[in-house]
């Protein structure tokens, strides 16, 4: 729809412009065996593939970061809600990458920070939907309500819930 992108918040528009890089990252998460073998997956095939997990990427400069501690407390308190919504939580802290509730991505911290334009001293939360689109960007910890309302508003989540329920 002409002009629709201009009505989006700037942070979502920026994320949408980076869709090619996002697709490459999500391909590595969705097709880890191919990523490790060095084989390429076409962008079209990757775009047609529905990811198994949503990804909540949490970037922090180091383990002593106050925002990281606050976000980890939200994750710990909401593990059941995160599992129900099929969210893998990926921590990119300093020079390490770790995951909870699902597989770790094959990307390095440097590549993840570069892709999402997160400086090594910044805190950021990024929610990636199963279709590979960025649903939320925040430079501050997000509450469970913010996270779950964003996910639950997506039609694909409603379809997933119906299939499970």
pLDDT single digits (tens) 47-104: 444 568 899 999 999 999 999 999 999 999 999 999 999 999 999 999 999 999 988 8
- Report the percentage of the chain scoring pLDDT > 90: 53
* Rounded Cα–Cα distance for residues 101 and 113 (Å): 21
- Return phi, psi of residue 117, to 5°: 55, 50
Which has more confidence, 5 or 91?
Answer: 91
pTM for the full predicted model? 0.67
pLDDT at 21: 42
Q: CA distances (Å), 159 to each of 90, 105, 164, in order?
A: 24, 25, 9
As given in the structure block, the two tokens for residue 56 are 């909540």
Segment holding 127, helix H or strand E: strand 124-128
Interval 128-141 mean pLDDT? 93
pLDDT at 94: 96
C-beta separation of 29 from 55 below 8 A: yes
As given in the structure block, the two tokens for residue 35 are 């990523």
pLDDT at 60: 98
Degrees to nearest 5, angle at CA 19 with 23 and 163 = 60
pLDDT at 106: 86
Domains belonging to the chain, first-starting first, are 7-164 (3.40.30)
3-state secondary structure of 90: strand
Q: CA distances (Å), 44 to each of 9, 13, 40, in order?
A: 27, 22, 12
Residue 131's CB is within 10 A of a number of other CB atoms, namely 14
């Amino acid at each position: 729809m002409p002009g629709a992108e201009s009505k989006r918040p700037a942070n979502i528009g920026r994320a949408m412009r980076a869709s090619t890089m996002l697709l490459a990252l999500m391909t590595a998460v969705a097709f880890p065996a191919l990523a490790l073998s060095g084989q390429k997956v076409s962008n079209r095939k990757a775009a047609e593939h529905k990811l198994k997990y949503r990804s909540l990427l949490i970037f922090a400069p180091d383990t002593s970061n106050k925002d990281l501690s606050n976000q980890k407390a939200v994750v710990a308190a909401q593990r059941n809600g995160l599992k129900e919504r099929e969210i893998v939580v990926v921590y990119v802290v300093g020079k390490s990458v770790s995951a909870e509730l699902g597989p770790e991505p094959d990307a390095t911290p440097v590549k993840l920070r570069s892709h999402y334009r997160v400086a090594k001293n910044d805190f950021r939360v990024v929610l990636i939907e199963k279709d590979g689109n960025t649903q939320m960007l925040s430079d501050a910890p997000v509450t469970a309500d913010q996270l779950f309302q964003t996910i639950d508003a997506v039609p694909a989540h409603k379809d997933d819930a119906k299939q499970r329920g």
